[in-house]
């Protein structure tokens, strides 16, 4: 299947999350069938990352959003973690600092936007400002309602700078979320990150659904599409994200830049010599020129 097409939120459409099956796994019956496919995609992503770096013309911004335990960290760890950390930065957007709050909501995101040739992964993103801030009424509607427009303009700015933008909503249901909370409780290496708010946030499930749907509807544009990824099965989530990243990067038709030097001339000049010859020859030239 073409994951890009299948999971993209078509611009102008109205998303109803409860009509999208979070347990969908396409033609893959189980994890074992998916693993080799994911590994191949990961290798391809790494090659495309190298090409993007070499070409130095384009950038890639990946935004990950989803409810608690939807798998944002897991996606980074198992799929996007396959990237070379050189040339790839991950920023986790947590509670804003005093300095960040003293600026507009896009300031802290713009600072860490990817440079040409580079990849930036946002674990949560500027969308927090129309999600948690809206659900918990941290700012009035008159403020958050204007943010969708600001987000679209900001993403257009990045896109006009040759930044490919891919935004993933990792879609799980309430039962899967509770199951994952229970697994955390059973794993002593995860106890340190458990807080009661994991559970109390569940009371806001429907408000979050509304806020996510609005963000998906208003901000899935041709230049910065949203994807709703069925994420109850971690392996299918990984496969779908890897496939979309690969498809999107392939479509850029990137090329290695031409060499800055005459490769054949370099060969003739140096490759008949051995290391000692080069060293001594060059030292002589250097001394003569001094």
Considering only 11, 81, 96, 117, the residue that binds a second copy (CB under 8 A) is 81
Choose the binding region for a second copy from 21-29, 148-156, 185-193, 234-242 (rule: CB under 8 A): 185-193
Say whether residue 39 binds a second copy (CB under 8 A). no
Q: Is 138 in the site for a second copy (CB under 8 A)?
A: no
Stretch of residues binding a second copy (CB under 8 A), selected from 19-27, 153-161, 208-216, 263-271: 263-271
Distance of CA 80 to the CA centre of its chain: 7
Nearest to 105 by CA among 92, 95, 115, 114: 95
Exactly one of 143, 181, 210, 218 binds a second copy (CB under 8 A); that residue is 181
What the block records as the tokens of 97 is 């600092």
Rounded distance between C-alpha atoms, residue 127 and residue 275, angstroms: 56
Q: Does position 288 bind a second copy by CB under 8 A?
A: no
Tell me if 238 contacts a second copy by CB under 8 A: no
* Helix/strand/coil for 88: strand
Using alpha carbons only, give the angle 180, 127, 105 rounded to the nearest 5 degrees. Answer: 135
| By CB under 8 A, residue 266 contacts a second copy | yes
Contact with a second copy (CB under 8 A): which of 121, 229, 240, 242? 121
Strand order in the sheet with 59-66: 88-92, 119-123, 59-66, 163-171, 226-230
CA distance 203 to 183: 20
Q: In whole angstroms, how close is the CB of 258 to a second copy at the nearest point?
A: 7
DSSP-assigned states of every residue in 41-75: HHHHHHHHHHHHHHH-S-EEEEEEEESTTSSHHHH
Q: 27 vs 265, which CB is nearer to a second copy?
A: 265
**Which residues sit at the interface with a second copy, rule CB under 8 A?**
50, 54, 73, 76-77, 80-81, 83-90, 92, 121, 123, 173-175, 177-178, 181-182, 185, 188-189, 191-196, 199-200, 202-203, 205, 256-261, 263, 266-267, 269-271, 274-276, 278-279, 282-283, 285-286
């Amino acid at each position: 299947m073409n994951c890009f097409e299948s999971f993209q939120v078509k611009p102008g459409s109205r998303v109803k999350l409860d009509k999208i099956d979070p347990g969908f796994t396409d033609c893959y019956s189980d994890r074992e069938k998916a693993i080799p496919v994911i590994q191949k995609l990961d290798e391809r992503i790494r090659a495309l990352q190298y090409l993007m770096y070499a070409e130095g013309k384009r950038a890639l911004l990946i935004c990950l959003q989803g409810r608690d335990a939807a798998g944002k960290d897991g996606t980074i760890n198992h799929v996007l973690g396959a990237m070379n950390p050189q040339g790839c930065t991950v920023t986790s957007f947590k509670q804003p600092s005093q300095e960040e709050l003293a600026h507009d909501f896009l300031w802290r995101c713009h600072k860490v936007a990817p440079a040409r040739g580079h990849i930036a992964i946002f674990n949560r993103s500027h969308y927090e400002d129309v999600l948690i801030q809206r659900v918990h009424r941290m700012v009035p509607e008159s403020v958050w309602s204007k943010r969708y427009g600001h987000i679209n303009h900001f993403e257009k700015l990045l896109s006009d700078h040759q930044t490919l933008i891919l935004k993933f909503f990792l879609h799980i249901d309430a039962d899967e979320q509770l199951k994952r909370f229970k697994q955390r409780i059973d794993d002593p290496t995860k106890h340190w990150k458990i807080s009661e708010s994991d559970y109390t946030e569940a009371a806001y499930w429907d408000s979050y659904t509304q806020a996510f749907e609005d963000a998906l509807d208003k901000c899935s544009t041709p230049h910065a599409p949203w994807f709703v990824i069925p994420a109850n099965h971690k392996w299918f989530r990984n496969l779908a994200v890897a496939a979309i990243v690969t498809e999107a990067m392939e479509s850029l038709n990137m090329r290695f830049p031409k060499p800055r030097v005459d490769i054949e001339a370099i060969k003739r000049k140096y490759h008949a010599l051995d290391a000692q010859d080069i060293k001594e020859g060059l030292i002589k030239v250097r001394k003569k020129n001094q």
